[in-house]
Each structure stands twice: as structure tokens, then as C-alpha cells.
Amino acid sequence: MSWWEDTDADDDDEPWGAFDESSARVRPNPKGSRPRTKVRPAHQDATPGWVTGVDRGRYAVLIDQGLAGADGRTVVATKARELGRKSVVTGDHVSLVGDLSGEPGTLARVVRVADRTTFLRRSADDTDDVERVIVANADQLLIVVAAADPEPRPRLVDRYLVAAFDAGLDPILCITKTDRADPGSFLDHFACLDLRIVTSARDAVPLDAFHTVLDGHVTVAVGHSGVGKSTLVNALTGADRATGVVNAVTGRGRHTSSSSVALRVRDGGWIIDTPGVRSFGLGHIDPANVFRAFAAHAVPVRPPADGIPLAEAHDWEIVDRVAEGELGPTGVERLDSFRALLTALGEDDPATE
């Protein structure tokens, strides 16, 4: 938001009366030049902060981070009325005014939200193009899948790869619960990908491997309920996020975490724990980005002929038919996944015509 759009009528306590033109009398101008408007400058003295959590209209915002090597402190804030329906999510860079003491019971106000460098979105399902931004300004997506309980599914990983690509995040695949099953055959599905992979177990979290991928980054952990995101985040950060149990019959988690929270990784970097979702809808995603995501992740897809917009292209080649026989079982399977995603998104699948 630009400063001239800032018309917060509630901010009479702000020290900017000298700039306030709202009390000036506005005379009709017979020459018809632009009338004076009620303009206030922005909260120029607002304090920058980073949103580390959102809970029912309250935002945990980290301020003074990095000042003289300080870890910063967290204040609780609400959204200023002037922001209207603009969403504020975990990872947003914001500006705060009001009580910044962080004392219990105090509330600061978020008056500005900076442009987001990235945002991870999902929709309720693939036919729903209403998107929800889950997390802003992260740069990596940790796709968490359990080796067992719940059973891993390669196509879900493909969905997350598409989401990562769409959001501008670098993907990392994390297999948890390796004490429960050998992830080897599951990982075979991704053998043809140039994908960073970390395997982990609750009682043997490979801290060095995580340090290598997490240090210096803001990483969002996503995955089904019960795969062990919070368990892992606790191990990496020393936090005490609640963890749930997986239903032995349905193999599903209990949706223990209900909001996204950013936590400092002990060995460097930030990790954002998110609530497990049953489905990760991609309805808002441009099919062109599905194509680009698969192309980026080593599936032999080819762009449509020159000049044909992807969405309209009926003759675009997903893969060279001749080459298809040479793809090998994993390549063919990933191609199927690609086609299934396009179909789910309502795109014509040339391969079935």
C-alpha cells in the first residue's frame, strides 16, 4: 500500500498532526482543478516486523530482530482497520504502530503489509479457484511424507512440486518415520528427479543434513496430517508444538496443528510448521505452471508449438511418443501423474484424444 492510501481515522495518537490536512477547509475550485483530498502520510515511524504466527485475528510479530545481534522480541498485534480485507499471513513483513512492549495484554497494530516475494497458496479442491495464501515470503518448501502411517503417495508429492513451482519455492522432499518402513521403493518414484531428499526418524533426526538444507532459509513444512511435521519441527527448533496420533484404522492424522507458525531452527534458518490438510487443491493454478513445474522437475514434457497459448493448445506434446517407450517405469508413472493433474484441473489432456 502506498502512503497516500493510508487514511486511518483511528490514529489520532500518532505524532503527525503537522501533516494532517483533514481539518483544512476545502473550497470549491471554480477552475475545476483537482480538489484537495483528505491525505495523511503513512505511519512513517512504524516499526518493521515479521509475522511468525496467526491465531484468530491476532498476529505474533517479531520485531527488533538482528538489532545488535539480538534475537528480537515478539509482540501481539491486531490488524488496523485501514487494511480492510487484506490478508496478513505467517511470513508477512509488516509495519507496526501502537504498544510494542510485548507485555501481556498489550496490542500493537499492523498498519502495512509489504509486497510478498513469494506466497504459497492452496484452494479447497481442484475445481475451486478461490485460493488461500498459507504462508508468505518463504523460499523453500519442505514436502513432508511419512514412510508409513499414513501411507506415502507419490502423486501428492507431485502436487506439492507444482505448488512449490507456482509459489517460487525450492522443493525439498523429507521422508519421516523411516523407523516404521524402508522408504526405498517410494523414493524410486522420484529417482529421475533432481530433488533434494532428507530422510528422518523421530528418534534419529539427521541434524547435519537438515542444517545443510535449512540454514539461511525460510522453509515451509507441508504434508498430510500425522506425517510428523510438528514432531520434526520440535526436534529442529526445541519448540513444544502439540503432536497428534495417527488413527490405526484410517491411517489418518487428527489435524493436531491448526495454524502456521514460524520457528527458529537451532542450527540456523526458520521453519514454518503448517496444519496438515486432507487435500492440497491446485484449482487456482494456471495449467501452464503445471507444465512448467513438471518440465522443471525432469519430466520430459515439451512446450506446445510456437505461438500457441498453453491453455488452448490441443496438439502440444506432453512427450515425444517415440520417446515414451524409453521413459522407463518411473518416467511413465510421472507422466501419468502429470496427465492426471491436468485432468483434475480441467485441462484437456491431449494424450487421451
Ligand X SMILES: Nc1nc2c(ncn2[C@@H]2O[C@H](COP(=O)(O)OP(=O)(O)OP(=O)(O)O)[C@@H](O)[C@H]2O)c(=O)[nH]1
Q: Which stretches of the chain bind ligand X, using CB under 6 A?
A: 176-177, 179-180, 201-202, 223, 225-231, 243-246, 253-257, 275-276
First vs last Cα of the chain: how many Å apart?
Answer: 47
Report the residue closest to ligand X, judged by CB. 276
What cell was used for 212? 545443510
Q: Identify which of residues 176 and 257 has a Cβ nearer to Mg ion in the complex.
A: 257
**Could you please report the per-residue DSSP string of 211-255?**
HHHHTT-EEEEE--TTSSHHHHHHHHH----------TTT-----
Residue 337, binding choice from ligand X, Mg ion, none, Cβ under 5 to 8 Å by partner class = none
CA distance linking residue 42 with residue 3, whole number of Å:
4
Q: Identify which of residues 182 and 320 has a Cβ nearer to ligand X in the complex.
A: 182
Q: Identify which of residues 256 and 343 has a Cβ nearer to Mg ion in the complex.
A: 256
Min dist CB 10 to ligand X, Å, is 37
Residue 320, binding choice from ligand X, Mg ion, none, Cβ under 5 to 8 Å by partner class = none
Residue 228, binding choice from ligand X, Mg ion, none, Cβ under 5 to 8 Å by partner class = ligand X
Q: Identify which of residues 127 and 279 has a Cβ nearer to ligand X in the complex.
A: 279
CA distance linking residue 56 with residue 60, whole number of Å:
11
Min dist CB 49 to Mg ion, Å, is 25
CA distance linking residue 271 with residue 53, whole number of Å:
12
Q: Which one, of 60, 133, 55, lies nearest residue 96 by Cα?
A: 60
Among 176, 178, 219, 230, binds Mg ion (CB under 5 A): 230
| DSSP H/E element including 290 | helix 287-296
Q: Is 257 in the site for Mg ion (CB under 5 A)?
A: yes
The site for Mg ion (CB under 5 A) is made up of 229-230, 256-257
